[in-house]
Each structure stands twice: as C-alpha cells, then as structure tokens.
Amino acid sequence: MSGDATTGPAFSVSLSRAKAAAAGGDACAALSILFTALTAESDFVDQSRAARLLKSIDLAPLRLRRLRIALLAASTLEHFAPVLRLWLARMGFDAEVSVNPFDTATQAILDPASPLRAARPDIVWLFSTHRDIPLEAQPGDAVARVAAQVDQAIAARQTLWTTLLEQVGCTVIDNLVDCPADDPFGNLAGSAVWGRRAMLRRYNAELPVVAPAGIVLFDLDQVARTLGRTRWEDARFWYHSRHAFALDASGPVAHAAARLIAGARGLAKKCLVLDLDNTLWGGVIGDDGVAGIALGHGEEGEAYVALHRYVKALKERGIILAVCSKNEHETAASVFREHPDCLLRLEDFAVFTANWGNKADNIRDIAATLNIGLDSLVFVDDNPMERDLVRRHLPEVEVIDLPEACAGYVEAIARSGWFEAASFSAEDSARGRYYAENAQRAAVRNAYVDLPSYLRGLEMQGALGGADPFHLPRIAQLINKSNQFHLTGTRYSEAELKAIATMPECVVRHLRLSDKFGDNGLIASIVLRHQDRAMLVDTWVMSCRVLGRTVEEFIANDIRTMAQQRGCERVLGRYVRSSKNGLVEGLYERLGFTCVSRSGEMTEWAFDIGADVPAWTTWVQPVPTREGLAA
C-alpha cells in the first residue's frame, strides 16, 4: 500500500476516493487508497483529515489487532492521538488511544484508584520531552554534581516504571528526550559537561542501561534530528497551548512510534526480499559480467557497497534475507562468490531464487520455503513495473519504492521502518541461519523413502526450560510475533510473563531444538495454568519452521508431565480462530483431545491423562538444560 504520496488538492481527490470506498463497505480499499496518498511527512492538515476518515471506517472486517494505549504527558497531545491511531492502523492495529489529563502522569500512576489503573491499558506511553527532565547545572559544575542530577532524574523515571510494571501490568514506552535547538551557551551547551544539551545527552545514554524488561524506549530525539531542529519546535504553539512539537511533526512522530509499537507487539516484518541487477549492484550481471558491474568503486559502486553493509547489518540483527531475481542462477551467484567488493555472501541468504519466472510466483515460493506468511515479507526492486506487479498480485507483501539514484536506497529502506524492533535477543542474529538450515532439511527430506526414516535421521534433541532471565526475552518475542502456530492469539510482554512465571498456579516453558544440521534455537513458548484438577494450555506458540517433525507431540508430552506433577487429571486446550492460525485448527483433534464446546471463534478441548494412556510418539529426544529438566 505504498506509493507516491500526494498533498493538497491531489490528496483531497484521494481522500474522496477513500471515503467512497469506505461508504461502499470496502475498508481494505479505503485504507489502501489513504496510505498510498499519505506519508509520514504529509502536513498536519492532511494527517488530521485522514485520521477523521479512519474514525468513520468500520475496521471490524479487517480483523486488526486490538490495542489500548494511554498517553501521559505534561504537554498537549489531544491533536496527536488521532494521528497515532491512524499510523497504528497502517501497522495492523485497531487502536484505542486515550490522553490522560494534562500534567497528571505521576498522580495517575501512583494513585491506586486512578482511572488509568481501572482502564488496564496494554501500553502506557510516558511522553516526556526535554522540558520534563529537571537538569540545570551551573557553569563550571563538577562532573560529580552533573552525574548526580542525571542519576536523580533517571531514578524518578524508574519509580514510575516499577509501579506501572508491577501494579498495572502493561508495556511502558518512555522517551529518549529531544534536545532543544536554542541555548544561551551556544556550542558550550553540548561541549561542556555542565551544558544542558550535554546533560540531556547523558540522560539519554544512561536511560537504556537501567531499563528493565517491559520498558520500551522511543528515540524522540532521533525523530527531531531527522526532521530538523528548526522544523521540530514551534514556540507559538508551546506558549499558546503547550504543544511539545510543531504540528507538522505529528506524522513523523506517529509513524516512528507505530513502527516501534508494531515491533514490540510482534507485527514487524521478518524477511527482506531483494532484486539483484541495478538493486544490489549497478548494471546487468548477464551482460556486464562480474568485472563490469558497478560495485565498490566510483560514486555508484560505493553507494551499492553501503547498501550491502546496511543489508548485512539487518541480517545480523535477525532479518531473514532472500533473493528474487530474473537471472541465470549461476551467473547471479557468481557475484557473491567472486566479486572482491561484494560484502554479502550466498550464505547470508536463506533463499536464493534466480530464474526467469514471474516474481510474484517466486515470492510465493520464497514464503512457502521459509514457512512464513506473505505479510512477513518486504520486497525491494529498482524496477517500478516489477514493484507494481507484486503490489497487484501480492497485496500482503510490503513493497518499498526506490529513488532513481542508488545513493538513496539505504534511506528508502531505513525510512520505511518495516523492520523496527523493540528489543534484541541473543538468537535474533542467528535467525537467517536457522531458516537457511531449514531449507537444507527440506532438500534432504526428498532423499528419504518415508517420513519416519527422515525424522529419525535428523537426530533431533529438545531442551526444555522455564522463564529464566536469559530466555525470557525470546519467549516473549515468540509469543508476540507468532501468528500461524498460535492457538489462542494471547500476547504477553516480558514484564507480564515474568509476573506470570511467579504465580504458583502457572508454568511458563520454552523449548530449544537442535538436530544434525544445527541449532534451531528457541522455537516454542508455552504458558500453562493449573485450574482445579486440570491443566489449561493458556498459550502455545511455535516457530513454523519446525512443523511436521513431531515437535508438537514432544511438547504435548511435556504439558502432560507438568499436569501429572501437579496432580491434574485432564489437560484443557483452547483454539481461538484468527485470520492467520488456520494451520493449527486441527492440532488438538490430531493429538486425541475431545471437543467439549464451541462458541463463536473459540473451540475448547479436553484430554484425560490416566496412567494407562500412552504418551504421544515423537522423534525428538530430551536433553537436560543448564537450569535442569525441572525448570
């Protein structure tokens, strides 16, 4: 749904078309038209008009994820809330955004009887700016006094965080605050240790050090820098009505925040699909040869190397890379093997598709090979016709428009924000390798006559554990990102899972899987609740890359063991239908559970675990973890 944005009269035409689509009951078309015409940089008037239209659109048919957000600030945000809701809709949320009364954040958080507590928001955003941070040193103040002030300011934030995490049980967003453009000390404001700008930078640098699980830091200062300091603030609106930033900054702030929230709630994209000729290098490899393409030297060559460096960094932080190119396979692959300035290598790509087939069909195959949804993919191609083809045939795939000059490619990908992340786990950097190894497993599968022989030959080992500090971030990440193998659609933040794990009636489990091809990492998260004489499977999510290997049966046996250890007689399961989890609709039936009720989108299942009932057959062998099998 991206494209060339329009403004002013042209935007009015698009807005009218979107209104007509909405009036006709086509919410999807209305949003598509709206976001094709609108960008984060569109002015506040157009942002507001689009937000008003969104309010009139029935989003229910789109089955967007519901989200409740409370904004707490000592500045005016009522004008910003609708724009934030607009960009959250772009990211797949039907959000309810409320604004707490002006400058009452501390009272609302600390008062047990406050409306904020009663509302139980999913996210509380402490929208702080430089004006809210009490840092005022005197010229010549020693480092110790400056550090003490910064520590005191951070301690005040920590008090609010702790209360929200422990007593409200929500995800908390706090800001890395903006730095003011003007200061009477000029350059000294940033270069002297006692300068206010230097102190704010110190505050921003130290805040992430103390932020616990459940705290998401939004880099407001980066948004201000990107927009430009002189465009960021408007003194007229601050003095008139306490607007923290200029009206036209609303779009960039909302756009960046929506991307971050999507990352925190599991809706960021997983895979970057790249064209080759004139996308990863200049020229056509089939015509120009390895020595003739633009890569490494000259203005264009250096720009392409910068793109390689950026793409490589995305892979290192957990984004899956794939190639979709119209080329001869060996000719295209030769660049990654032979070109001395090519920073990317074949092993960096989980799937490498170079043929003369239709790109839309090839992208479908890439998604199927990786076993991820089309809505997890982002496609980058210099050719506008190929981009248009993918948009028309695969509307679920996000397509990034590239500028004519390759020097702008990195900015185009970065500014899209599709790969925003709220956290980073130790396994993220290995994700591309996991998927590449999975493709090897699929290739080996064809060499076996029967499935049991193949599964036995994988030599799978499963390590079960609990919600220890090392694995907790990945457990939460998997629960929030998984959509296909997710039986109930429940979402828990790190802080919520940490609290659940301490409840006597609850068990939080994870599974790591390895085989002869390598380590698959943490591939399953389970939350169990002991209810009377039954164990309820509250949440069961699993990476789709391990489907069909009897891992489900291995986990089911562990759930049964947990239930027996607590004296339970039954295991209860729930399946709540969503637009994406159809593949697990029959899981409980396949495992031998009995359907006990159906109501709307939810089906409830039960399994009696008598002593004479055999365990489920699995080819996964248990191995102990560092925390022990009893974790």
- In sequence order, which residues have a C-beta less than 8 Å from that of residue 502 and are 6 or more positions away? none
Residue pair 574/535 in contact by the 8 Å Cβ criterion: no
CA dihedral sign of residues 80, 84, 85, 87: positive
CB of 538 within 8 A of CB of 529?
A: yes
pLDDT of residue 3: 41
Query: Domain check: are 401 and 518 in the same one?
Result: no
76 by Cβ neighbours in 10 Å (0-12 / 13-18 / 19+) ranks as middle
Question: Does the pLDDT at position 9 exceed 80?
Answer: no
Residue 424 within a domain: no
Query: Is the predicted pLDDT of residue 33 greater than 50, yes or no?
Result: yes
Q: From the CB of residue 117, how many other CB atoms can be counted at a distance below 10 Å?
A: 17
**Sequence-ordered list of residues with C-beta below 8 angstroms from that of 82, at least 6 positions apart, any chain:** 48, 51, 52, 54, 55, 97
**What local confidence, expressed as pLDDT, does residue 444 receive?**
65
Q: What is the mean pLDDT of the chain?
A: 90
Domain encompassing residue 216? 64-264
Check which CATH number belongs to the domain holding 535 and give it.
Answer: 3.40.630.30
Does 120 map to a domain?
Answer: yes
Strand 65-73 versus strand 93-99 pairing type: parallel
* Residue 357: Cβ within 10 Å count: 12
Q: Identify the weakest region by mean pLDDT among 137-141, 179-183, 561-565, 618-622.
A: 137-141
Instruction: Tell which residue, 405, 428, 406, 401, has the closest CA to residue 416.
Output: 401
4 in any annotated domain: no
Shared domain check, 216 and 182:
yes
Inside any domain, residue 453: no
Tell me how crowded residue 211 is: count the other CB atoms within 10 A of its CB. Answer: 17
For residue 125, how many C-alpha atoms fall within 13 Å in the half-sphere facing its CB? 27
With respect to residue 515, please indicate whether it lies within any of the assigned structural domains.
yes
Please give the distance of CA 511 from its chain centroid, rounded to a whole number.
21
pLDDT at site 185:
85
The domain that holds 237 is classified in CATH as 3.40.50.1110
Residues 378 and 236 occupy one common structural domain: no
Between CA 628 and CA 74 the distance in angstroms is 48
CA distance linking residue 351 with residue 365, whole number of Å:
10
CA atoms in the 13 A half-sphere facing the CB of 112: 2
pLDDT confidence band for 10 (50 / 70 / 90): confident
The beta-strand segments (E) located in 444-533 are: 461-465, 506-515, 518-531
Longest dimension (CA), the chain: 81
In a domain, 41, yes or no: no
**Position 410 pLDDT exceeds 70:** yes
- Residue that is written with structure tokens 């009477």 in the block: 184
Is the predicted pLDDT of residue 212 greater than 50, yes or no? Answer: yes
Of 416, 451, 477, the one marking the end of a domain is 416
Last residue of a domain, one of 398, 416, 434: 416
- If you average pLDDT over residues 172-199, what whole number do you get? 90
Do residues 255 and 294 share a domain?
no
What is the pLDDT, as a whole number, of residue 222?
A: 94
pLDDT of residue 426: 59
The structure tokens listed for 465 are 């554990």
Q: How confident is the model at residue 397 (pLDDT cuts 50, 70, 90)?
A: very high
pLDDT higher than 70, residue 259: yes
Distance of alpha carbon 497 from alpha carbon 169, whole angstroms: 10
Buried b (16+ CB within 10 A) or exposed e, 159-180: ebbebbbeebbbbbbbbbbbbb
Phi–psi pair at 262, nearest 5 degrees: -60, -40
Domain co-membership, 229 together with 108 = yes
Residue 1, H or E segment: none
The confidence score (pLDDT) of residue 518 equals 81
d(CA 355, CA 286): 12
What mean pLDDT is predicted for residues 65-87? 95
- Among the candidates 356, 387, 416, a domain finishes at 416
Does position 190 have pLDDT exceeding 70, yes or no? yes
CA–CA distance, 528 with 558 (Å, rounded to integer): 11
- DSSP for 310-344 reads HHHHHHHTT-EEEEEEES-HHHHHHHHHH-TT---
Give the pLDDT confidence score for residue 129 in this predicted structure.
Answer: 95
Q: How many CB atoms lie within 10 A of CB 337?
A: 11
Q: What is the mean pLDDT of residues 458-479?
A: 90
- Strand order across the 320-326 sheet: 351-355, 320-326, 271-274, 377-380, 398-400
The domain that holds 282 is classified in CATH as 3.40.50.1000
The structural domain count of the chain equals 3
pLDDT given at position 208: 94
Residue type, 447: A
Block residue for tokens 């990863």 = 280
State the amino acid at position 630 in one-letter form.
A
242 lies in the same domain as 330: no
* pLDDT value for 448: 63
DSSP, residue by residue, 65-132? EEEEEEEEESSB-TTHHHHHHHHHHHTTEEEEEEEPSTT-HHHHHH-TT-HHHHH--SEEEEE--GGG
% the chain with pLDDT above 70: 93
Q: Are residues 256 and 277 in the same domain?
A: no
Q: Using alpha carbons, list the distances in angstroms from residue 224 to 126, 413, 439.
A: 17, 19, 43
Q: What is the DSSP letter of 308?
A: H
Identify the helix (H) or strand (E) that includes residue 165. none
As a whole number of angstroms, the distance between CA 433 and CA 371 comes to 14
CB atoms within 10 A of CB 479: 24
Question: How far is 222 from 261, CA to CA, in rounded Å?
Answer: 16
Residue 259 and residue 305 in one domain: no
- Lowest mean pLDDT, pick from 19-23, 215-219, 435-439, 506-510: 435-439
Contacts of 301 (CB under 8 A, 6+ apart): 282, 294, 295, 341
397 shares a domain with 308: yes
Length of the chain: 631
Give the pLDDT score at 427. 61
Q: What is the arithmetic mean of pLDDT over 415-425?
A: 79
Cα 74 to Cα 130: distance, rounded to the nearest angstrom: 11
* DSSP 8-state symbol, 615: P
**Is 199 found in the same domain as 92?**
yes
Q: Rounded to an integer, what distance in angstroms lies between the CA atom of residue 1 and that of residue 29?
A: 10
Same-domain check for residues 310 and 343: yes
* Residue 1 predicted with pLDDT over 60: no
Is 374 found in the same domain as 227?
no
Inside any domain, residue 54: no
| Residue 444, domain member (yes or no) | no
Q: 358-371 b/e with 16+ CB inside 10 Å = b?
A: ebbebbbebbebbb
The answer on pLDDT for 4 being more than 80 is no
